[in-house]
């Protein structure tokens, strides 16, 4: 999952980003509305955590642009304006969810994950393939009932592949969805993570490589 945090208070923005990354989520951070629009024009984010009172372009206008452009990105407004009428207004312009500041961080993570499961074709809360099961909300994975010890990137890569059973997912797409913009696009991060993941999953193999195309869950 990849999230864009749009917050003009730099300290708060980095706190949010650090916490989301610790929850295994790839995060990009911007500090004004125009930079948010520039990022959204290039990257398909799963969720946008959006402050309303932004410089350059107001958060409301960023939200309206996401909706008008038909983006699949879900918008979670996070703002100090916590009155009921503010929440109603935020949802009325197209936000998918709304949290007032300060908020409980565990609730923020839970809501981000819930929104990410609500794209056009909703994903089930639990993913499985044969004897392999993955629960994104609980951050658990098992095979044949045996718990798997996966780091955050391994878990996220497996989630991407299980979310598209039988579909070949290019390495470039995996990199974009699991790593943030600080990742080197020419690195071997995806290949290395897939290799470690295969070793942990064991036999019979679950992930297969499709030459010059990408990776998929074996049929």
pLDDT in tens, 49-72: 999 889 999 999 999 999 888 788
Verify that 99 and 152 share a domain, yes or no.
Answer: no
CA angle 198, 189, 29 (to 5 degrees): 125
Same domain, 111 and 45: yes
Instruction: Say which DSSP state 204 is in.
Output: S
Tokens matching residue 173: 């797409």
Domain assignment present for residue 121? The answer is no
Query: Is 70 exceeded by the pLDDT of residue 124?
Result: no
d(C-alpha 104, C-alpha 56), whole Å: 28
Same domain as 7, residue 109: yes
pLDDT at 56: 93
What is the DSSP secondary-structure string of 16-74? HHHHHHHTT-EEEEESSHHHHHHHHHH---SEEEE-SS-SSS-HHHHHHHHHHTT---E
* pLDDT of amino acid 84: 61
* 83 located within any domain: yes
Split into its structural domains, the chain has a count of 2
Q: Is 179 found in the same domain as 84? A: no
Check: pTM over 0.95? Answer yes or no: no
Q: Are residues 90 and 157 in the same domain?
A: no
The three-point CA angle 135-23-15 to 5° equals: 160
Q: Which residue has the higher pLDDT, 203 or 219?
A: 203
Q: What per-residue confidence (pLDDT) applies to 125?
A: 64
- Chosen domain end from 54, 85, 116: 116
Q: What are phi and psi of 193, to 5 degrees?
A: -65, -40
2-6 and 26-30 beta bridge pairing: parallel
**Mean pLDDT to the nearest integer, 200-211:** 93
- Point out the least confidently predicted range of 88-102, 164-178, 205-219: 88-102
* Mean of all residue pLDDT scores within the chain: 87
Q: Is the pLDDT of residue 185 over 90?
A: no
Name which residue leads in pLDDT, 3 or 187: 3
CATH of the domain at 91: 3.40.50.2300
pLDDT at 90: 61
Rg from Cα positions in the chain: 18
Q: Is the pLDDT confidence value at 87 over 60?
A: yes
**Residue 154 pLDDT more than 90?**
yes
Query: CATH code at 149?
Result: 1.10.10.10
Residues 39 and 103 in one domain: yes
Which residues have C-beta within 8 Å of that of residue 41, sequence separation ≥ 6?
Answer: none
Which residues constitute the domain of residue 193?
127-217
For residue 53, being part of any structural domain is answered with: yes
**Alpha helices (H) in 78-128, listed in sequence order:** 84-92, 105-116
């Amino acid at each position: 999952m990849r999230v864009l945090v749009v917050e003009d208070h730099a300290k708060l923005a980095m706190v949010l980003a650090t916490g989301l990354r610790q929850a295994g989520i790839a995060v990009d951070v911007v500090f004004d509305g125009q930079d948010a629009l520039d990022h959204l024009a290039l990257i398909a984010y799963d969720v946008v955590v959006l402050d309303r009172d932004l410089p350059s372009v107001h958060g409301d206008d960023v939200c309206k642009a996401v909706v008008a452009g038909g983006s699949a990105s879900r918008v979670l407004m996070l703002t100090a304006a916590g009155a009921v009428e503010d929440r109603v207004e935020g949802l009325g312009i197209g936000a998918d969810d709304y949290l007032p500041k300060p908020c409980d961080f565990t609730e923020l993570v839970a809501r981000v994950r819930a929104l990410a499961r609500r794209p056009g074709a909703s994903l089930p809360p639990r993913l499985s393939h044969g004897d392999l099961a993955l629960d994104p909300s609980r951050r658990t994975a098992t095979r044949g009932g045996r718990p798997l010890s996966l780091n955050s990137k391994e878990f996220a890569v497996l989630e991407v592949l299980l979310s598209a059973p039988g579909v070949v997912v290019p390495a470039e797409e995996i990199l974009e969805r699991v790593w943030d913009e600080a990742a080197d696009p020419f690195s071997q991060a995806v290949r290395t993570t897939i290799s470690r993941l295969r070793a942990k999953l064991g036999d019979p193999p679950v992930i297969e490589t499709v030459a010059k195309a990408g990776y998929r869950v074996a049929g």
